[in-house]
Structure 1
Amino acid sequence: MKKCILLLFGAVLFVSGLYAQTNISAHFTANTTLTVANSPYTVINNININDGVTVTVEEGVEIKFNDGRYFQVFGTLNATGAKFTTSRATPAKGAWDAIYVSSEGSSSIGTVNLTNCTVEYAQNIYCRKGTLTLKKSTIDNFSGYGVQVFSQGTLDISETTIKNSNNHPIYLTGPGMLKGTNDNVLTGNSADYIYLNFNDVSGVFNMPKFDIPYRVTTFRVTETGTLNISPGVELKSFNTEITIRGKIKARGTSDKPIIFDMHPGSSYWLGVNITPSAIDSACIFQNCIIKNAKYDNDAYVAMAVDGASPTFENCLFTDNHRNLFVTGISQPIFTNCKFNPSTIVGGEAYNVAIDMNANLDFSTDSIKFNAKEIRAVRILPSTVIDDARLKKLSFKNIENISYCLYETTTVHDTASLVIDPGVVIKCRQYNSMITANGTLTGIGTESEPIIFTHIADDNFGNPLDSENNGQAGINNSNSGRIAIYGNSTSKIKNWKIHYGGYDSNNWAVYVSKGNIVESCEIKNSYRGIYFYDNAQLLNNAFLNINYYPLGRYVNQGSPTLIGNTVSNVGYIGIFIPGIAADSPTLQSLDFAGFTNVAYLIDDNRTIAAGNVLTINPGVVIKFYQAGRFTINGAIKAIGNKNNKIIFTSYLDDSASGDSNNNGTASTPGNGDWAGFDYGGSASDTENILKNCELRYCGEWYVSRNAVIHITDCKVAIDSVMINFTNKCALGIYGNANPVISNSEFYNLGNAPIHMDMFSNPTFNENNKVANLPRIGLLVRGGTINGTVPERSFAGYNNITYIIEEA
């Protein structure tokens, strides 16, 4: 029989030597059995097992490979109880090359089945295209990896030992298929991990449980991919993150949890990311442990969920810098999960963070904090893009935990945000802000107000001391702001807004359009509410406001102020920070028990060219030292004889009461504010002052000679009283041609008129002067060339010109 085999396969097998050693020198082109009788075999060339050919190796056969030689299996290799080793007398790792299962570029699909076999002293076994089955076998003393699996390869391994390799026992260069049982022994190698050295899973990839962890680099499950992880699997990430864009099913058990961890040789790992394209119903984490995500960057967490709704059940988040981010339109389900404290102990940290698009329920979950953590749920900066709701959020061990707002949350103009009664929002920074360009609805109750305050405010929240540092001092306006700008009616009611405003130059609340702020407490701020358009401020209380409870940006609109109160405020009045270029009307408003409360101006306010500010009868405007109007457009201030428009000092308590809220501690004086400046672009037809009073102006700090400067334009001044100034009443310059009628100039610091000789004012009858240091027309210095006209003023015919400037 032996002679027959040799005759039949003489092209392949050659018997040599006294002890019947058989050389294998040519490719297998027909089915062949390697028998014990011809063993040992020596592979002296690189050998292919061709497609369609089966080579069977009998039990007890030994196949020796000369240096660098290999088997490449395009057909089938079946071996039971065989040994594949080196032909060297003194064995060494990597002496021979490998067993290859086909080739990636080949059309052939190879099959290698090794049962009760030993493969030793090779470089690798490569499963490139086809199936490698290892059962009860031993892979020993390899110079490279134990088994390398490529994208088109399948490794089925059970009851097998891989040891003494110079690298990982199993190495995947692509998302091939792994099958196996947990009865293998894969330890005793230079790196005892299953190394997944590829990035993308675009099909189905299974991670069976082995006795060693998996090592992953940058690892992504694509939109078409599915990752199935068996109970007990450990994944060790190496300087990377795991991103799920498709499906993941990580179903551990209570006794065999799935562990997501950092590789011990890694500097960091960046956690797990669930992206918006992930398939919600097919993203499942059960009995998982997510740990050691400690990258020192605020943007990275152990588990980041963005625009997705995976399921987490009985999962433990532990030993992480930050445990959880949930952003975008997300509704993840958490059941019986535990969030352990942050590992950051040298500075501020946080445990769980969401943005206001997300909708979560932690009622069956528990959370713990270290001594440095913000003991609240962080609100991340975001734009709300749909209908969102910020609700009272409770953990099993903390009811209605506080939120901590970082930076700005913006409600998009097509979106809405509802904030439930009892919600507590604490601002981490002074620049924290909620900006509603869409609809904001926050209706608290008297028993459950909505709280918007500073993180250090220990009067509110659960736990009260969110920073765990005792009661800290808080400066007024050191917390965040609320801005309500949307076209659809927004409403906030029964809020406590404390310490709001960013700094002393900003406001706690901004509100425009027809939006409503009702029954809110604005407290401990430099400035309260800034409003414009048709804003509605109803029954609000302003407490401990350093400067202004209200500020109105004057534009077209009819704001509503009803039932508001003040206590311990700097000024009782409505501050005007600016004037819009839409030709607005300034009307009387009642505030804080004051009928027709004063408007307050602290610096220059410019009326732009082409713009007309109309001031209704009865309006009172009070100015600080540098306060003035610069009119490049027009002011149309037409009062009534019995309801005049008053422009005066902020110290003048006789008009609209004690605006600086200091009782009789201060009194007005000449020169408390500057005045009016009309420029050459000012309208000649719209500028009218009628039935008005200007008191206590002519501030020395602003270089001027008169209360009202008129340059190269026309102003109609009728029935106007200018009283108490240390300057002239009117300054008329260039080609100015104002018309002054029925006006009164009292208690001036100089002559009633300061003018250029050839300006062209019209002084009608019935103007009056009294208590002046001198009566005449004071001429501004300069070159005069022409005929000096005779003028009459205030009953003085051919009134005197006074020249005292060169």
Structure 2
Amino acid sequence: MVFNDASIDSVSVMRRCTVTFAGAGSTGGISMYNASPTIDSCSMANNHFGAMMQGASSPVFTNNTIGSSELVPIAMSFNANPVFSNNSFSFSDNTYDAIGLLGGTLSTDAILPIRSVTSIPNVTYLLLDYVTVPSGLTLTIKKGIVIKGYQSSQRIVVQGKLVANATPDSMIVFTSAKDDNFGNPKDSNKDGNASTPAVGDWGGIVFEPGSDTSSVINYCTLNYGNLPYYLYYYNSTWYYSGEVTMINASPTISNCQIGNSVYGIYAALSSKPKVINNSIFNTQYTPIAMSFSADPTFSGNTFNNTGWTALGLIGEYVASSGTVKQRNVAGYNNITYVLLGDATINSGTNVTVDAGVVIKSNGPGIYVNGGFRAKGTVAGGQVVFTSLKDDNFGNPGDTNGDGAVTSPAAGNWSTIRFQATSDDSFCLLDSCLIKFGGSG
């Protein structure tokens, strides 16, 4: 049964109907496309979705029973705003016990509220695809909501504004459908202890260039989010990703629990996020990765059980000038940096490394087609380039957290190579200590 946007809402009514074995083409037993009929006292069973509400559908949806859905009992767009009352979900035979959130691009501002069905308050939401918040529009997620995902392609892409502003006693949660610690019901995929959550179970949150700098993620828990193969394709360029990824974007991320990911926060290009009072934990590599040209503001953060306890410097073609500064983060004064991949400084781009900075590498090097300047001072100390395995420098010195298991050796990392096009008038290595390089 399909209600299209041309249907007449005021006279469109289904009451005391049974709809079964429908939903071909990943639709609902009852499907609404920018339509708002009244659906009352109906039974929907053995459909792909019991009911699907696309676009700005706002049906009156009351006294219905939905069960035996191939995916979820109800699937709806972020823009949909149904009036729910006294509905029951049969949670014995759906694939996922949740309200599904359809993908697509928002057409208007959207508010995602807490929704309840009979005996189940604040039902878990499940991402069914990726959603884009376009420029000029706002997605607001109310406190206390739990959103889960089951594929790494399911993500929230912000080109406009995201407001996920919660409180300590009612945090917003983004996590895996296999994570039974959150939601109602918690075992959303209905398999007991048969599956456990893992990195990449959903795609995380991505802020693209031009997104609103007043976007906020506050008092949120984010777990197990990373993009497919940890990569994100934007403007003909592949980027690695974190649980929260920024590409030339500057939201505020505060008071959050961010964990079980490759990187917790990934700030690419000239991103300038405010990263305040967050706990970042269980990361495969560094808790935070950033471009040479990024300039985040850090305050009050903590790191726990991170693969490499450092700030990661993204391996990329560096196209904007920047400074690698001494930064005090997570209780580490002048925290160590780790080079995450080969960095090529483009012609016309200048990178400065401040006195006292320590940059370690587990293989990658720095290739200079533009300008690269690292100058130590008596007051600030030498600039150090060394192996990730070198525990004698940096804070923490044992950056890879393996104690004395590994020791540095010549060729642990590549080189600092000044190419023929490098800017000789800017390039300088002065009062630097360069150790254990020369691979290849």
Normalized against structure 1, the TM-score is what?
0.50
Q: CA deviation at 1:452?
A: 0.8
Does residue 353 of structure 1 match 2:75? yes
Does residue 545 of structure 1 match 2:283? yes
Q: Give runs of aligned pairs for residues 648-667 of structure 1, distance below 5 A.
A: 648-653=386-391, 654-657=393-396, 658-667=398-407
In structure 2, distance between residues paired with 1:610 and 1:414: 33
Contact 1:504 1:526 in 2 (8 A): no
In structure 2, distance between residues paired with 1:295 and 1:572: 49
Q: CA deviation at 1:295?
A: 4.8
Decide whether aligned partners of structure 1 residues 497 and 329 sit closer, same or farther in structure 2, where only a CA change above 3 A counts: same
Q: CA deviation at 1:610?
A: 1.7
Instruction: Select 1:379's aligned residue among 101, 106, 109.
Output: 101
1:516-541 per-position Cα deviation (integer Å, ceiling 9, x unaligned): 11111112222211014211111111
- Paired residue for 1:521? 257
Instruction: Select 1:294's aligned residue among 13, 22, 25.
Output: 22
- Paired residue for 1:595? 333
Q: CA deviation at 1:296?
A: 4.1
Q: Give runs of aligned pairs for residues 166-245 of structure 1, distance below 5 A.
A: none
Q: CA deviation at 1:339?
A: 2.2
- Paired residue for 1:476? 199
Q: Give runs of aligned pairs for residues 77-96 of structure 1, distance below 5 A.
A: none
Contact 1:553 1:579 in 2 (8 A): no
In structure 2, distance between residues paired with 1:596 and 1:431: 36
In structure 1, distance between residues paired with 2:378 and 2:36: 69
Decide whether aligned partners of structure 1 residues 595 and 430 sit closer, same or farther in structure 2, where only a CA change above 3 A counts: same
Q: CA deviation at 1:403?
A: 0.7
Decide whether aligned partners of structure 1 residues 360 and 681 sit closer, same or farther in structure 2, where only a CA change above 3 A counts: same
Does residue 307 of structure 1 match 2:34? yes
- Paired residue for 2:234? none
**Letter matched to residue 302 of structure 1:** G
In structure 2, distance between residues paired with 1:618 and 1:503: 37
- Paired residue for 2:236? none
Does residue 495 of structure 1 match 2:220? yes
1:221-243 per-position Cα deviation (integer Å, ceiling 9, x unaligned): xxxxxxxxxxxxxxxxxxxxxxx
In structure 1, distance between residues paired with 2:297 and 2:422: 31
Q: Which has the larger radius of gyration?
A: 1
Contact 2:76 2:102 in 1 (8 A): yes
Decide whether aligned partners of structure 1 residues 602 and 480 sit closer, same or farther in structure 2, where only a CA change above 3 A counts: closer
Does residue 460 of structure 1 match 2:182? yes
- Paired residue for 1:40? none
In structure 1, distance between residues paired with 2:159 and 2:47: 36
Q: CA deviation at 1:468?
A: 1.3
Contact 1:353 1:379 in 2 (8 A): yes
Q: CA deviation at 1:504?
A: 6.5
**Letter matched to residue 54 of structure 2:** T
Instruction: Select 2:353's aligned residue among 591, 615, 618.
Output: 615
- Paired residue for 2:47? 320
- Paired residue for 1:412? 134
In structure 1, distance between residues paired with 2:372 and 2:360: 16
Contact 1:377 1:401 in 2 (8 A): yes
Q: Which structure has the higher relative contact order (CA within 8 Å, separation 6+)? A: 2
Q: Secondary structure at the match of 2:378?
A: coil
**5+ residue gaps, structure 2:** 231-240
Does residue 435 of structure 1 match 2:157? yes
Q: CA deviation at 1:546?
A: 2.1
**Letter matched to residue 106 of structure 2:** V
Contact 1:549 1:572 in 2 (8 A): yes
Q: Give runs of aligned pairs for residues 618-657 of structure 1, distance below 5 A.
A: 618-625=356-363, 627-643=364-380, 644-653=382-391, 654-657=393-396
Contact 1:652 1:667 in 2 (8 A): yes
1:48-86 per-position Cα deviation (integer Å, ceiling 9, x unaligned): xxxxxxxxxxxxxxxxxxxxxxxxxxxxxxxxxxxxxxx
- Paired residue for 2:65? 338
Does residue 686 of structure 1 match 2:421? no
Q: CA deviation at 1:392?
A: 1.1
In structure 2, distance between residues paired with 1:517 and 1:315: 43
In structure 2, distance between residues paired with 1:340 and 1:353: 13
- Paired residue for 1:285? 13
Instruction: Select 2:87's aligned residue among 365, 369, 387.
Output: 365
CA RMSD of aligned residues (A): 2.0
529-538 vs 311-320, which deviates more? Answer: 311-320
- Paired residue for 1:507? 242
Decide whether aligned partners of structure 1 residues 642 and 666 sit closer, same or farther in structure 2, where only a CA change above 3 A counts: farther
Q: CA deviation at 1:288?
A: 4.3
Contact 1:628 1:674 in 2 (8 A): yes
Decide whether aligned partners of structure 1 residues 543 and 372 sit closer, same or farther in structure 2, where only a CA change above 3 A counts: same
In structure 1, distance between residues paired with 2:311 and 2:11: 56
Decide whether aligned partners of structure 1 residues 584 and 350 sit closer, same or farther in structure 2, where only a CA change above 3 A counts: same
**Letter matched to residue 490 of structure 1:** S
Q: CA deviation at 1:375?
A: 0.5
Q: CA deviation at 1:438?
A: 0.8
Contact 1:477 1:524 in 2 (8 A): no
How many pairs align? 420
**Letter matched to residue 636 of structure 1:** R
- Paired residue for 2:267? 531
Q: CA deviation at 1:565?
A: 0.9
- Paired residue for 1:425? 147
Q: Secondary structure at the match of 2:260?
A: strand
In structure 2, distance between residues paired with 1:562 and 1:661: 23
- Paired residue for 1:563? 300
In structure 2, distance between residues paired with 1:306 and 1:587: 52
Contact 2:23 2:29 in 1 (8 A): no
Q: Secondary structure at the match of 2:412?
A: coil
**Letter matched to residue 202 of structure 2:** S
Contact 2:138 2:162 in 1 (8 A): yes
Give percent identity, aligned residues only.
29
Contact 2:319 2:346 in 1 (8 A): yes
Contact 2:67 2:93 in 1 (8 A): no
Q: CA deviation at 1:286?
A: 4.5
1:283-335 per-position Cα deviation (integer Å, ceiling 9, x unaligned): 4315241513525432x222222223333333333443322111212322222
Contact 1:390 1:419 in 2 (8 A): yes
Q: Secondary structure at the match of 2:97?
A: coil
In structure 2, distance between residues paired with 1:396 and 1:603: 52
**Letter matched to residue 198 of structure 2:** N
Q: Secondary structure at the match of 1:483?
A: strand
